Amino acid sequence: MKRRDILKKLSLLPFAGGLASLYPFQSAKASPAADSPANRDLFKELGIRTFINAAGTYTFMTGSLMHDYVTDTIKAASKEFCLLDEVQDKVGEKIAAMTHAEAAVVTAGAFSGLTLGLAGILTGTDVEKVKQLPHLEGTGMKSEVICQKGHDIDYNHAFLNTGCKIVPVETVEDVEKAINEKTALMHFLNIEADKGKIMHEEWVALGKKHGIPTSNDIAADVPPVSNLWKFNDMGFDFVVISGGKAMKGPQSAGLLMGKKKIIEAARVHMPPRGFNIGRGMKVNKEEVLGMYVALEHYLNYDHEKEWKIWEDNIAVIEKAAKSVNGVNTKLFVPPLGNITPTLEITWNKPEVKAKDIQEKLRSGSPSIEVISHSENSINITVWVMKQGEEKIVAKRLNEELTKILA
Ligand SMILES: *Cc1c(COP(=O)(O)O)cnc(C)c1O
């Protein structure tokens, strides 16, 4: 195998550290375990690279940075015991009111919300049924989820975890043909709404017409803040969203919002109970309360002001990139999800590859991560950056683009 091929293989492994992670003993200094955690820099101690995130809310880059009010909440919450069900009850009631849902629960992310919402639909609160998942055959439980082809992304694996299969459709006629006594759910994916022929309202109406519950994955789809209640108002039976993206709550949290009966049943699949498929998706009081304050704050702050800051900051980066000979920039806002000013940078030398620029930025000081969706372009957002980092990114981009295009 050529070295290049080995590197390619390595980059596909789950530990994206690649070669470095094969040599874990490189800096085997004595562990300063006696120091108080506040005085330790564990990233440094363990040799973990940190970076400026100019890419966005990517799980492989650990999502977004929690706000101080979230980490303060987590720390305070960790000092007391309470009943896990009670904290979910009380927080769920508040979250439901804030999002116009009948009920809500904090899950271990949007993906877990999809699994749990569907599981609840399959079983209701019948413990004997709950225990049988994911083995649905011969139980009489429903086992199919209908979804438009353009909406059938990897994350729909969340539904397979219940034992269900996905039935892809394209037209209204397809939907009506696909519906049968095994149909448990009709699922919609907001961020790819434009990749399907059937839009939100019609999807909900079709579900209602046939008595099939509908769901909507809006994991990455705030801002706008109104999306937090828009799809509950529209009549979807359950809606899921990530906590650790724009809301800057815990990365291991999200919301499942929806009909009371579904949320109640979903809870039977969740800890503290352990006879279910959801036991491994535990959120403790720290995440539950952290998610709650993240949402509360998100609903209350000045989104227009934040948008203006994003525009100003991305303009700084655009200007610095554009001033390099041979560089083109395009500023756009994705319409359905990850809705934030996004800068696409392209250049006039096809032999220069995005990954070369990414590597230069990555190995510089400070390290910077940008994202690329094609060989000859990189994309930048500023919404998870810390104040002032836009200037550093602008300067580093200008330096590296100037060098590589010279
Ligand atoms: C991020 C994302 C998910 C997964 O969300 P988690 O909160 O990480 O579980 C699911 N669906 C879509 C469309 C997403 O963007």
pLDDT single digits (tens) 383-399: 999 999 999 999 999 99
pLDDT of residue 31: 55
pLDDT of residue 14: 52
Q: pTM (2 decimals)?
A: 0.91
The number of beta carbons lying within 10 Å of the beta carbon of residue 262 is 26
CA distance linking residue 402 with residue 20, whole number of Å = 29
- Average pLDDT for residues 139-160, to the nearest whole number? 98
pLDDT of residue 253: 98
Q: Is the pLDDT of residue 200 over 70?
A: yes
Q: Is the pLDDT of residue 258 over 50?
A: yes
pLDDT above 70: percentage of residues in the chain = 92
List, in order of start, the domains of the chain with CATH numbers.
Answer: 81-299 (3.40.640.10), 303-405 (3.90.1150.180)
Q: Is 242 helix (H, G, I), strand (E, B) or coil?
A: strand
Which atom belonging to ligand 1 lies closest to the Cα atom of 338?
Answer: 15
Question: 284 with 130: CB under 8 angstroms?
Answer: no
Phi, psi dihedrals of residue 238, rounded to the nearest 5°: -150, 150
Which atom belonging to ligand 1 lies closest to the Cα atom of 220?
Answer: 15
Provide residues with CB under 6 Å of ligand 1. 59, 109-111, 155, 191, 217, 219-220, 242, 254
CA of 62 to the centre of ligand 1 (A): 13
Given CA atoms 310, 312, 318, 324 in this order, what sign does their dihedral have? negative
Confidence of residue 34 (pLDDT cuts 50, 70, 90): low
pLDDT of residue 65: 97
Whose CA is closest to atom 12 on ligand 1?
Answer: 219
pLDDT above 90: percentage of residues in the chain = 90
Whose CA is closest to atom 5 on ligand 1?
Answer: 110
Which atom belonging to ligand 1 lies closest to the Cα atom of 242?
Answer: 7
pLDDT of residue 7: 44
Confidence of residue 38 (pLDDT cuts 50, 70, 90): confident
Question: 284 with 81: CB under 8 angstroms?
Answer: no
- Average pLDDT for residues 91-113, to the nearest whole number? 98
